[in-house]
Amino acid sequence: MVQAEWNVVQDAYESNNNKKYETIFTLANGYRGLRGSLEFSKIGNQGNFIAGIFDKSKSQVTEIVNCQDPLVLNIYFEDELIDFDKCLVLHFKRYLNMKEGILYLKSKIKTPKGKIINISTERYVSRENVHRWAAKYTISCENFSGNMFVENMIDGNVANNSYDPSSILKHIFIEQAYDMSPGIALISSTLEKHIKIIESSALISGSYDCIQSKFRKYRQSDDKVCELYQIPIYPNTKYEFYKLGCTYSSMDCNDIADSCKYDMASFIAYGYEKEKSDHISSMKDIWSDIDIKIDGDERAQVGIRFNLFQLSSSAYECGGRVSIAAKGLHGEGYKGHVFWDTEIFMLPFFIYTMPDIARSLLLYRYNTLNGARKNALANGYKGAQFPWESADDGLDVTPKWGLDYNGKLMRIWPGEEECHISSDITFAIWEYYRATLDKEFMLNFGAEIFFDTANFWKSKVEYNPIYDKYEIKKVIGPDEFHEHVNNNAYTNCLVKWSLKKAVYLADWVKDMDIKVFEKLCAKLNLNNNDFKQWDIIQQKMYIPCANHGKLIEEFEGYFDLADSCITRYDKNGMPLWPDLKGKNYSETQLVKQADVVMLMIMLGDEFDYESKYKSYKYYKARTMHKSSLSPSMYSIMGVILGDTRNSYKYFMKTVLTDLEDNQANTIYGFHAASAGGAWQSAVLGFGGLSVDKYMMLNFNPWIPDFWNSLSFNIIWHGSKISVKIMHDKILISSSKDVKIKVFSKEYTICSKKNYSIIK
Ligand code: BGC
């Protein structure tokens, strides 16, 4: 049965939407992502991305590799290839059952020659065994008997950037195609680093023995391999078969062909259905950690689950080998690069629901510290400067050129200037530590990142003797409309925060383990003068606000720019450009995305109500939300300040970013940061979760009138805390004893008891 609140449904077929649904229906497991291509249409952008496999060769910068496509399956009835774009589609329903993690298709078509055929499929990318994926096909014909030919194929004729003919590039060459019998295999190798990838797949009969070796033909061409089965068919009989797939790369093991052959043999022996039930039971465990229930609002319920499903599919615990790209494993947008999106937007979700994955994501930054050190050196600084865009080694891979909103070529400056990423990372480390108390991580990895980025900041800041202040010049803050600005408030405040924490951590590490401290000091060439200097800089960091009282100025000189407020919105409620009176947006006070408002959420304790209120009101009227990272922050601040009508509006924009394609770019991949923002909006916004300066967990919830309740689980200091917020009360239970505050009143929640706190 299709339970509405667990399913994302496409109930009409239009080839124009294929690319969008490929993103929405991507199935991923952190190790890899397979775009949701429909086997029965040639219109789309196939995508098979394996986390961590990057290549540069002739592209502008290193990019995620689109690997050979294992999904291809062609079905012919005599000489007619099933192609929905040439058939009459009599019935079509495709849906992603998020509870199970299975993509279903139910369809009925009429071919140009009049054959009426029912096709049902299922597909999963295993959450139990990351190397496996599989599909099931059930076919019946209503008015025809004859031959059905099923062509199981792995297609190596794939390239990156297929949406942009001018930069189409193939990052792999095919090394070998062979008959694995059972199944077929195609080995490719990346051009630059020669990372080898093997895709294999095998067709297996389902309930009726239709896949028979005596009717099999094996074929290979330059970049494709296939096996073709002939199946005699009769009307109104169901033909059922499975396609099983195994994937390995030379980043996993040495002998990829052997590993693959062995895995395929055991997958075949184990069978599609058993693997499927293992996968579903892994999904059940995942949902028991991550689910958010919204009772009373089906659209919001499906929307939030979609974000949680796809975000949790984008990562797995892999010892810090990889992180999450801005577009997940769902598309090539932003070339598979990792941004602050991970630490600031996605990480809170992982910290509070899957802390092992959060740790692995932070370890990725530790593992790429050497690249960060090289960036600092190349830019004339000391210490470690994390890249604005990161791929496999921490070197900056931000492209220098791109297209602006009018499709014109423009210089891209964030690689040089958007330096807040380094303190975004330390901020995230602290958030992780605060929620997990993982001392081992802080001692062995986190502290080193704090210290070496402090070294970077020490060399980056400029002393202004007139004001006796430290400044950071020529930067880009979160608002990318304004480049080369001085003293962006977000950047300076976070640097101040990060240096202060680095000073604190120097003492903390010394107390925890003097040997680790000494080793770190020797490795990073630190002494007491450095710690003193960090402290002086943080105390004297310039924050542009003084002239405007409580209203924080986004950067020095921002208030002098031409002012124009947003007054018109599109059909999705997104702001329309106001009349810029001949100016470029960079010459106005229009803001691309939450900047000051974000800062005030992140460092909430450091700003009073009046400052938050004034800044929120001012910037709300000027924020274009041209990035999907933006609405969630306004939603959270709306709840904090009691502007709840807007909170719901921004929340819905966030959760529906991809389902409604409200940024008009879902075809390029999933908006993973927005998904993290959706979790934050629900839990930090409506759930009112915050951590105060005494490291105490606080809840100040509010839910929309028409919701009956909002429920979620979080992990805090090793306890799993379940929260259900209703209009008159809050129900809380915890797996261990824990102290929390609800509406500023302290409670001790004893394990295994249910607490009902009346509002
Ligand atoms: C946003 C950045 C973001 C990047 C990747 C840009 O449009 O301005 O804040 O990191 O997209 O999502």
User: How confident is the model at residue 237, as a pLDDT?
Assistant: 95
Residue 407 CB neighbours (<10 A): 7
Query: Using a 6 Å cutoff on CB, does residue 629 contact ligand 1?
Result: yes
Mutate to test the pocket of ligand 1, among 327, 480, 665 (most ligand atoms within 8 A of CB): 480
Query: Using a 6 Å cutoff on CB, does residue 169 contact ligand 1?
Result: no
Position of tokens 């009409």? 12
- Top pLDDT among 407 and 247 is at 247
How far does residue 477's CA lie from ligand 1's centre (Å)? 11
Mutate to test the pocket of ligand 1, among 476, 629, 630 (most ligand atoms within 8 A of CB): 629
pLDDT at 548 over 80: no
**How many independent structural domains does the chain possess?**
2
Alpha carbon nearest to ligand 1 atom 5, residue: 326
CA angle 97, 284, 201 (to 5 degrees): 65
- Please provide the DSSP assignment of 74-111 as one string: EEEETTEE--TTTSEEEEEEEEEETTTTEEEEEEEEE-
Query: Using a 6 Å cutoff on CB, does residue 593 contact ligand 1?
Result: yes
How far does residue 348's CA lie from ligand 1's centre (Å)? 18
Could you give the CA distance from residue 328 to residue 338 in angstroms, rounded to a whole number?
Answer: 9
Indicate the pLDDT class of residue 1, thresholds 50, 70 and 90: very low
Alpha carbon nearest to ligand 1 atom 1, residue: 627
SS3 of 328-360? CCCCCHHHHCECHHHHHHHHHHHHHHCHHHHHH
Query: Using a 6 Å cutoff on CB, does residue 594 contact ligand 1?
Result: no
Beta strands, E only, 31-72: 32-34, 48-50, 54-55, 63-64
Query: Using a 6 Å cutoff on CB, does residue 341 contact ligand 1?
Result: yes
Which residue type does 369 have? Answer: L
Q: Is residue 326 part of a domain?
A: no
Query: Using a 6 Å cutoff on CB, does residue 340 contact ligand 1?
Result: yes
DSSP 8-state secondary structure symbol assigned to residue 592: S
Query: Using a 6 Å cutoff on CB, does residue 307 contact ligand 1?
Result: no
How far does residue 410's CA lie from ligand 1's centre (Å)? 16
Query: Using a 6 Å cutoff on CB, does residue 92 contact ligand 1?
Result: no
Query: Using a 6 Å cutoff on CB, does residue 256 contact ligand 1?
Result: no
Alpha carbon nearest to ligand 1 atom 7, residue: 627
Q: Which atom of ligand 1 is nearest to the CA of 339?
A: 10
CA distances from 350 to 252, 527, 616 (A): 24, 35, 27
Q: Is residue 506 part of a domain?
A: no
Residues belonging to the active site: 480
Partner residues linked to 226 by β-bridges: 153, 219
First to last CA, the chain: 38
Q: Which atom of ligand 1 is nearest to the CA of 337?
A: 5
Among 239, 264, 289, which residue terminates a domain? Answer: 289
> What percent of the chain has a predicted confidence (pLDDT) above 70?
99
Could you give the CA distance from residue 141 to residue 115 in angstroms, rounded to a whole number?
Answer: 7
Q: Is residue 480 part of a domain?
A: no
Alpha carbon nearest to ligand 1 atom 6, residue: 627
CA distances from 400 to 2, 298, 417, 475 (A): 47, 43, 12, 15
Q: Is residue 744 part of a domain?
A: yes
Q: What is the CATH number of the domain that holds 718?
A: 2.60.420.10
Record the tokens describing residue 319, joined without a space: 């010892």
Q: Is residue 37 part of a domain?
A: yes
User: How confident is the model at residue 311, as a pLDDT?
Assistant: 98
Q: Which domain range does residue 713 map to?
A: 688-759
Query: Using a 6 Å cutoff on CB, does residue 480 contact ligand 1?
Result: yes
Smallest CA-to-CA distance from 682 within 309, 305, 212, 225 is with 305
Among 225, 260, 289, which residue terminates a domain? Answer: 289
* Number of residues in the chain: 759
Strands 738-742 and 697-699: parallel
Query: Using a 6 Å cutoff on CB, does residue 339 contact ligand 1?
Result: yes
How far does residue 707's CA lie from ligand 1's centre (Å)? 32
Q: Do the Cβ atoms of 390 and 397 come closer than 8 Å?
A: yes
Indicate the pLDDT class of residue 621, thresholds 50, 70 and 90: very high
Could you give the CA distance from residue 594 to residue 632 in angstroms, rounded to a whole number?
Answer: 9
Q: Is residue 67 part of a domain?
A: yes
pLDDT in tens, 87-119: 999 999 999 999 999 999 999 999 999 999 999
Record the tokens describing residue 705, joined without a space: 């009138």
Work out the average pLDDT over 234-252: 97
Q: What mean pLDDT, rounded, does the chain reach?
A: 96
Position of tokens 């667990």? 6
Alpha carbon nearest to ligand 1 atom 12, residue: 326
Q: What is the CATH number of the domain that holds 255?
A: 2.70.98.40
Backbone angles phi, psi at 523, to 5 degrees: -65, -40
Question: CA 254 from chain center: how many Å?
Answer: 29
Q: Is residue 662 part of a domain?
A: no
User: How confident is the model at residue 2, as a pLDDT?
Assistant: 56
Query: Using a 6 Å cutoff on CB, does residue 455 contact ligand 1?
Result: no
Alpha carbon nearest to ligand 1 atom 9, residue: 478
How far does residue 323's CA lie from ligand 1's centre (Å)? 16
Collect all residues with Cβ–Cβ distance below 8 Å to 724 and sequence separation of at least 6.
709, 710, 711, 730, 731, 732
How far does residue 627's CA lie from ligand 1's centre (Å)? 6
Query: Using a 6 Å cutoff on CB, does residue 663 contact ligand 1?
Result: no
Backbone angles phi, psi at 421, to 5 degrees: -50, -35
Q: Do the Cβ atoms of 135 and 242 come closer than 8 Å?
A: yes
pLDDT at 405 over 80: no
> What percent of the chain has a predicted confidence (pLDDT) above 90?
94
Q: What is the pTM of this model?
A: 0.97
Partner residues linked to 151 by β-bridges: 74, 228
pLDDT at 166 over 90: no
Q: Do the Cβ atoms of 431 and 503 come closer than 8 Å?
A: no
pLDDT at 547 over 70: no
How far does residue 247's CA lie from ligand 1's centre (Å)? 31
Indicate the pLDDT class of residue 699, thresholds 50, 70 and 90: very high
Work out the average pLDDT over 15-39: 98
pLDDT at 478 over 90: yes
pLDDT in tens, 296-326: 999 999 999 999 999 999 999 999 999 999 9
Query: Using a 6 Å cutoff on CB, does residue 424 contact ligand 1?
Result: no
How far does residue 92's CA lie from ligand 1's centre (Å)? 35
Among 272, 289, 306, which residue terminates a domain? Answer: 289
296 in helix, strand or coil?
A: coil
Q: Is residue 537 part of a domain?
A: no
Which residue type does 674 have? Answer: S
How far does residue 676's CA lie from ligand 1's centre (Å)? 13
Q: Which atom of ligand 1 is nearest to the CA of 671?
A: 12
619 burial via Cβ count (<10 Å: 0-12, 13-18, 19+):
buried
Collect all residues with Cβ–Cβ distance below 8 Å to 743 and sequence separation of at least 6.
699, 700, 759
Q: Which atom of ligand 1 is nearest to the CA of 478?
A: 9
pLDDT at 142 over 70: yes
Query: Using a 6 Å cutoff on CB, does residue 457 contact ligand 1?
Result: no
How far does residue 595's CA lie from ligand 1's centre (Å)? 12
User: How confident is the model at residue 99, as a pLDDT?
Assistant: 98
Backbone angles phi, psi at 737, to 5 degrees: -65, 135
pLDDT in tens, 341-396: 999 999 999 999 999 999 999 999 999 999 999 999 999 999 999 999 999 999 99
